[in-house]
């Protein structure tokens, strides 16, 4: 992690654009290799290495949601640094393992996270930031219907991800309709 701190402090902050570091997936050590971004402590290190707002985060609800992180706290605490969101859900097991869940099922409070993202977008607009919108995508989809006969990368099925996108858009529209805008 020391190398990434040096990279951020020297190189990234001289570049034009946004860095959106993605948490490790999975957030557990594989074959003894250390993880770089798995929790708040790692995010604090990375953001202190480059305090500029352009040094940001891809909020992956699956990666951060797979261990004992408070995903709502992470989304609230770093909302101004979220430049992209991968929205997926996982179900945690007692032994620390996890598996992919439907977007509206599982242990991740996906509605709470989306509410925070919408509030942040309204805040960005109010204060005049140019990066008002936080792009998002449904991350990982189950194999449904025709997807089961196609060769595709695991988690990146067409119909399963479209189903996830429809569910996420439904959440967004409902939140907007209900008027969640406490930051505006």
- Indicate which residues carry an active-site annotation: 22, 60, 86, 139-140, 156
Q: How far apart are CA 142 and CA 145, in angstroms?
A: 10
Q: Considering only CA atoms, which of 155, 23, 30, 21 is closest in space to residue 97?
A: 30
Which among 35, 9, 11, 12 has a CA at the least distance from the CA of 22?
35
C-alpha triplet 145, 146, 148: angle, nearest 5°: 80
- Return the bridge partners of 137, or none: 86
SS3 105: coil
The contacts of residue 183 (CB under 8 Å, 6+ apart) are 119, 120, 122, 123, 126
Q: What is the enclosing helix (H) or strand (E) of 124? A: helix 110-127
Rounded CA separation 138/136 (Å): 7
């Amino acid at each position: 992690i020391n190398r990434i701190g040096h990279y951020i402090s020297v190189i990234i902050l001289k570049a034009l654009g946004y860095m959106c570091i993605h948490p490790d997936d999975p957030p557990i050590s594989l074959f003894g290799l250390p993880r770089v971004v798995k929790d708040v402590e790692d995010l604090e290190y990375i953001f202190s290495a480059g305090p500029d707002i352009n040094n940001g985060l891809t909020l992956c609800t699956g990666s951060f949601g797979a261990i004992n992180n408070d995903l709502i706290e992470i989304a609230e605490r770093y909302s101004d640094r979220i430049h992209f969101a991968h929205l997926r859900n996982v179900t945690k097991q007692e032994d620390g393992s996890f598996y992919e869940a439907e977007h509206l099922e599982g242990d991740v409070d996906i509605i709470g996270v989306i509410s925070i993202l919408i509030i942040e977008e309204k805040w960005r607009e109010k204060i005049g930031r140019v990066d008002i919108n936080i792009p998002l995508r449904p991350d990982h989809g189950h194999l449904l219907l025709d997807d089961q006969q196609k060769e595709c990368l695991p988690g990146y099925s067409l119909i399963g991800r479209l189903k996830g996108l429809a569910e996420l858009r439904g959440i967004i529209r409902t939140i907007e309709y209900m008027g969640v805008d406490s930051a505006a």
